[in-house]
Amino acid sequence: MTAATVTFSVQLGSGGFAIARAVAEKLGYRYYDWEVTSQAAEMAGVSPDVVQQAERVPGFLERIMRRLSTAPALTAEEAVLEPAPAVMVSAVQSLTLDDYRQFIERVVRELADKGEAVIVGHAAQAILRERPGVFKVLILGSLRRRSERLAAEQGVSVEQAMATIKQSDKDRAELFKRAYHIDWLDAAVYDLCINTDTVPVDVGVEFVSAAARAMA
């Protein structure tokens, strides 16, 4: 039985977004990462500040779900794209706001209810950890290799990339410890962990797709 939902937790610079996108295309699932969600939220007029002040959150939930339901299918060319680091930084910072985090948690559960979804980030591995039919994946790599990859992708120095990655790792570790009481890099949280230092992207795609299809 193929998993109804595949979640990806991706270390910055690990190449995990390319794997997640390609898996979504291979399984024929819709793909949701922070960039997709942020665009849908902007179009729906949903922001952390607005949600915090809202008296009727379900209205915001309905609007953003309508936007997400019309997300276009991926093309093969899009499978190599990765959101800019600033998108991930902003996303993690928004989750430090309790009201907005709870809103995002509801979005994640709604996406999982619909099924046939690949969800990258959004703390989905924690939010959906007890839900049947969810296959949870961690994509990671060494600091040096991730820094080199991010530097090449973003056109910055390796030192700049390394500083960005270190801060990203720190922020996410603190968020998951405070909000979900887990170590987000703990292998026990996931069904499959892939180190892209040694596993090429195309092989990682095959690993995840085959494992998700064979999920008990």
Tokens standing for residue 24? 């979504």
Q: Could you list the pLDDT tens digit for every one of the 216 residues in the chain?
A: 788 999 999 999 999 999 999 999 999 999 988 777 776 666 656 666 666 555 555 576 777 777 777 665 554 444 445 667 777 777 787 787 787 888 888 889 989 999 899 999 989 999 999 999 999 999 999 999 999 999 998 899 999 999 999 999 999 999 999 999 999 999 999 999 999 999 999 999 999 999 999 985
Q: At a CB cut-off of 8 Å and minimum separation 6, what does 166 contact? A: 143
The model carries a pTM of 0.84
134 - beta bridge partners?
A: 5
Q: Rounded to whole angstroms, how far apart are CA atoms 148 and 84?
A: 15
Edge-to-edge strand ranges of the sheet holding 134-140: 30-32, 117-120, 5-10, 134-140, 192-195
